[in-house]
Chains A and B, each alone.
Chain A
Amino acid sequence: KQEVTQIPAALSVPEGENLVLNCSFTDSAIYNLQWFRQDPGKGLTSLLLIQSSQREQTSGRLNASLDKSSGRSTLYIAASQPGDSATYLCAVPINDYKLSFGAGTTVTVRA
């Protein structure tokens, strides 16, 4: 059974510091991994998707890496801003249609 873990559960950093968010999964036979952002009381916003053949994916200040062999993905957010405060979730497919989500890391960026 695919288990997805995100540690730490919460993170607080001063503005300007780089953020490093971790996602671990137990079954390395995945086709992709997706990172989402969720603001309080809101839906999930897709940030990045990494295909299994890729090592990393970049979008603006965000960079996500994927190491299938070790069952890990890392989301880096450069030069954090208060607007980056949110919960970040990673998800991997269990089958064609079901995604298994981590519990998320709640980030607070202090001004």
Chain B
Amino acid sequence: NAGVTQTPKFQVLKTGQSMTLQCAQDMNHNSMYWYRQDPGMGLRLIYYSASEGTTDKGEVPNGYNVSRLNKREFSLRLESAAPSQTSVYFCASSQYPAGQGNTEAFFGQGTRLTVV
């Protein structure tokens, strides 16, 4: 049971380069999320997708774009990478909105991105 799968696991980019982080879940979840984790800042929500076909900004969306390709896949794109985007990126999913009732959020293993 794979759960939430992220690719790549590690990436080094030069300032100004672009890249797409891929995320796929096999739990038939409706909602998907992108978080970044930084020392001293904790986990912060970048974007989320409530359901297939919808996306919304989270707490720190600047410099990022997302695509909910289908129910399984939710990608995060950095159009012009900056050193401030050096972070660990986590994709997550939940059957229903994570803030409701008994809905658990499940996380991927993370993508460690360094922008030099």
Find chain B residues with CB under 8 A from A51 CB: 101-102
Give the A-B contact count at a CB cut-off of 8 A. 72
Find out whether the CB atom of B90 lies under 8 angstroms from the CB atom of A44: yes
Write the residues of chain B forming the contact surface with A, with a CB cutoff of 8 angstroms. 4, 31, 33, 42-43, 45, 48, 50, 56, 58-59, 90, 92, 97-110, 112
**Please, which residue of chain A has its CB at the minimum distance from the CB of B43?**
A101
Q: Mark A83-111, 1 if CB is under 8 A from B, else 0.
A: 00000010101111111011110000000
**Please, which residue of chain A has its CB at the minimum distance from the CB of B40?**
A103
14 residue pairs bridging A and B, Cβ less than 8 Å apart: A31-B99, A32-B103, A43-B107, A43-B110, A46-B105, A46-B106, A49-B104, A51-B101, A94-B99, A96-B50, A96-B97, A97-B50, A97-B56, A97-B98
Closest chain-A Cβ to B2's Cβ sits at a distance in Å of 12
Find out whether the CB atom of A99 lies under 8 angstroms from the CB atom of B107: no
Asked if A65 is at the interface (CB within 8 A of a chain B CB), the reply is no
**Please, which residue of chain A has its CB at the minimum distance from the CB of B100?**
A31
Find out whether the CB atom of A98 lies under 8 angstroms from the CB atom of B99: yes
Find out whether the CB atom of B45 lies under 8 angstroms from the CB atom of A98: yes
Closest chain-B Cβ to A55's Cβ sits at a distance in Å of 15
Contact of A99 with B42 at beta-carbon distance under 8 Å, contacts A34-B104, A43-B90, A43-B109 already known: no
